[in-house]
Chain A
Amino acid sequence: MTQILSIGAPILELKDLSICLHHGKQHQILVHDLNLMLRPGETLALVGESGSGKSLTANAVLGLLGNSLQISGGQILVCGEDIVPWSDKERRKLRGTGIGLVFQDYQGSFTPFIKIGKQFVETLRSHNSLSVQEAKLQAMNWLGRVGLPAERVFNSYPFQLSGGQRQRAAIAAALMLKPSLLIADEPTTALDVLTSETVLDLLDELQSQTGCAILMISHDLRQVLKRADTIAVMKEGRIVESGAAEVIRTRPTHAYTKMLLKSRPLLTEIHAQLLAEEQALAGTGDRLA
């Protein structure tokens, strides 16, 4: 798939995408006329609160919408080809090698009762013609690349790893098939602040090595501002504002984007404001005394 790409042609393009929920005879549009574009090596963050439709959008790209949900309009272009009319089988193939996936929770990424190594080997062999030995070598190599003790993790069950280790393993599992697009749905939401940072650093590093595009789904605008090239802010199924991360950070125009930023001020901003309030209070105290 990647061979036919000219440099800079979009990996993923959503054109007027709408997603509709059916229950009985009623239907409700949950995502309205969404337009997005993602080029090789770029990170686009789709940001919104719960119910904004950000995960639905990711699931639509992955072909993982449930039975009651349906793409009711628009196109999903992967490397220029509209995948909306594709069969489930074609979609499944795309999910393996064209699009990688990292979920918030390892239960989405790993089968709990099979050792990590076995899952890696199976995944590799189902997409490539490799011997078990070759697959094992590749699996170990990838576990090493994401900074894990390869031997030990290979022989561990998912629950024997810490949250950060599991997420590193999930990233390795997604990237070892060399996808041109990685969809990361809240990849650090279940992790500690410092662990989150190292996992995001790792994604950055692997992205610059592999050149894959990343579609990052997040509720935390503050966090992705530092990480993404482009940001699209979603609310109630629509993109209310999108643009370069730097522009969103310094000159947001939509009231909702401003509110998201204001809801999560930097510690330095909180600190400065509280000190100012403290001083103002001390000042009035002095005058009263």
Chain B
Amino acid sequence: MRQLLNAEKLCKTYHRSGTAVEALQEVSLHIEVGECLGVVGESGSGKSTLGRILLALEKPDRGDVRLQDHSIIGLKGKALREVRKHIQVVFQDPTSSLNQRLPIWRSVIEALDNFPEITPPFLEDVRHSRRDTAAKLLEMVGLKAEHLDRYPHELSGGQRQRVAIARGISLMPKLLICDEPTSSLDVTVQAQILQLLKRMKMELGMACLFISHDIAAVRLMSDRIIVMKEGRILDQFASRDIMSDERHEYTRKLVAVVS
């Protein structure tokens, strides 16, 4: 397997009201092309900080992130734009990640509008028309043409998350970072969104970083799993070894709650 992304010894400390919080302490990981890496941890484990650093939304204090052997730390302008093509994101709360004033179809093609030079293979037939492109993307995530002119508040939480996923895959990124993508949804909708993400990943051959506090969802989605606590990686393993006796005590606790 070829390595897509490499993070080395990431450290990040936040200062809040005089106390230092070490959000990440020497966190190293890699993601291979087309692979899904799961990151599981509770709040304060540093998993979302990790996600933001890999998205180049935040800089680590120390350490390096390399996308196909090019560091993405401290990039600006054109170079950063280039990275954005390849790494896209789906956040937990689709309500705040979609522009409330834009009709759905405009939100869906937002990324493609930013990168007019990109035409992923699955959009070749429709790329000449922005609306047709949006319609095609909505269809891929199980929404209908009738949703094109709706506004976010007219959609259910699950439908909004489908829109966010449609936007996330629209550039056919090499890596899709999903930060708690189902945590704000009803349970039956959660299951549908996980299935959708899994299918998209298979069809498009994207790599995925799947961040969640739900170890069952992480097992479902991921090829490999990293367990984080208090800014450190405690355990990492191939998904199929999740029940192994060699698992860290903390991993076993997380497993026991949902078994």
Residue numbers of A with Cβ under 8 A of B are 49-50, 163, 192-197, 219-222, 259-260, 262-268, 270-271, 274-275, 278
Chain A hits for B213, CB < 8 A: 192-193
CB distance from A117 to the nearest CB of B (A): 21
- Chain B residues 194 to 243 lying within 8 A of chain A, measured CB to CB, are 213-216, 219-220, 239-240, 242-243
Does chain A have a CB within 8 A of B245?
Answer: no
CB distance from B94 to the nearest CB of A (A): 14
Does chain A have a CB within 8 A of B187?
Answer: yes
Q: Please determine whether A263 and B190 come into contact, CB atoms closer than 8 angstroms.
A: yes
Given contacts A267-B255, A271-B219, contact A220 B214 (CB under 8 A): no
Q: Please determine whether B187 and A194 come into contact, CB atoms closer than 8 angstroms.
A: no
CB distance from B36 to the nearest CB of A (A): 12
Q: Please determine whether B42 and A193 come into contact, CB atoms closer than 8 angstroms.
A: yes
Q: Please determine whether A194 and B254 come into contact, CB atoms closer than 8 angstroms.
A: yes
Chain A hits for B187, CB < 8 A: 49, 219-222, 260, 263-264
Using an 8 Å CB-CB cutoff, how does the interface string of B24-38 with A read, 1 for contact, 0 for none? 000000000000000
Q: Please determine whether B186 and A265 come into contact, CB atoms closer than 8 angstroms.
A: no
Q: Please determine whether A266 and B216 come into contact, CB atoms closer than 8 angstroms.
A: yes
Given contacts A192-B42, A193-B42, A275-B240, contact A266 B186 (CB under 8 A): no
- Complex CA–CA separation, A260 to B219 (angstroms): 19
Q: Please determine whether B188 and A270 come into contact, CB atoms closer than 8 angstroms.
A: no
- Complex CA–CA separation, A193 to B157 (angstroms): 22
- Complex CA–CA separation, A179 to B136 (angstroms): 57
Chain A hits for B157, CB < 8 A: 50
In the complex, which of the residues B43, B242, B253 contacts A271, with contact meaning CB atoms closer than 8 Å?
B242
- Complex CA–CA separation, A193 to B251 (angstroms): 12
Chain B hits for A222, CB < 8 A: 187, 258
Chain A hits for B1, CB < 8 A: none
CB distance from B95 to the nearest CB of A (A): 13
CB distance from B246 to the nearest CB of A (A): 15
Chain A hits for B242, CB < 8 A: 267, 271
CB distance from A260 to the nearest CB of B (A): 6
Chain B hits for A219, CB < 8 A: 186-187
- Complex CA–CA separation, A260 to B188 (angstroms): 6
Q: Please determine whether B258 and A266 come into contact, CB atoms closer than 8 angstroms.
A: yes
- Complex CA–CA separation, A271 to B241 (angstroms): 10
- Complex CA–CA separation, A202 to B158 (angstroms): 33
Q: Please determine whether B188 and A194 come into contact, CB atoms closer than 8 angstroms.
A: no
- Chain B interface size, under 10 / 10 to 19 / 20 to 34 / 35 or more: 20 to 34
Given contacts A49-B187, A195-B42, contact A274 B220 (CB under 8 A): yes
- Complex CA–CA separation, A280 to B251 (angstroms): 28
Does chain A have a CB within 8 A of B259?
Answer: yes
Q: Please determine whether B42 and A194 come into contact, CB atoms closer than 8 angstroms.
A: yes
Q: Please determine whether B188 and A263 come into contact, CB atoms closer than 8 angstroms.
A: yes
Q: Please determine whether B191 and A193 come into contact, CB atoms closer than 8 angstroms.
A: no
Q: Please determine whether B191 and A271 come into contact, CB atoms closer than 8 angstroms.
A: no
- Nearest to A220 among chain B residues (CB) is B187
- Complex CA–CA separation, A260 to B187 (angstroms): 7
Chain B hits for A275, CB < 8 A: 240
Chain A hits for B243, CB < 8 A: 268, 271
In the complex, which of the residues B43, B219, B253, B254 contacts A270, with contact meaning CB atoms closer than 8 Å?
B219
Q: Please determine whether A259 and B188 come into contact, CB atoms closer than 8 angstroms.
A: yes
- Nearest to B220 among chain A residues (CB) is A270
Q: Please determine whether A274 and B258 come into contact, CB atoms closer than 8 angstroms.
A: no
Most chain B CB within a 10 A radius of its CB, from A193, A219, A265, A274: A193
Does chain A have a CB within 8 A of B257?
Answer: yes
9 A-B residue pairs with CB within 8 Å: A50-B157, A50-B186, A193-B42, A222-B187, A260-B187, A264-B191, A267-B215, A267-B258, A275-B240
Chain B hits for A221, CB < 8 A: 187
Using an 8 Å CB-CB cutoff, how does the interface string of B88-128 with A read, 1 for contact, 0 for none? 00000000000000000000000000000000000000000
- Nearest to A47 among chain B residues (CB) is B187
Q: Please determine whether A274 and B240 come into contact, CB atoms closer than 8 angstroms.
A: yes
Q: Please determine whether A193 and B186 come into contact, CB atoms closer than 8 angstroms.
A: no
Q: Please determine whether A267 and B186 come into contact, CB atoms closer than 8 angstroms.
A: no
Chain B hits for A268, CB < 8 A: 243, 259
Chain A hits for B258, CB < 8 A: 193, 222, 266-267
- Complex CA–CA separation, A219 to B220 (angstroms): 21
Chain A hits for B255, CB < 8 A: 267
Q: Which 7 A-B pairs have the closest CB atoms?
A: A192-B42, A49-B186, A263-B191, A267-B216, A267-B258, A263-B188, A263-B187
CB distance from A71 to the nearest CB of B (A): 26
In the complex, which of the residues A49, A50, A266, A274 contacts B259, with contact meaning CB atoms closer than 8 Å?
A266
Chain A hits for B259, CB < 8 A: 266-268
- Complex CA–CA separation, A269 to B17 (angstroms): 45
CB distance from A196 to the nearest CB of B (A): 8
CB distance from B248 to the nearest CB of A (A): 14
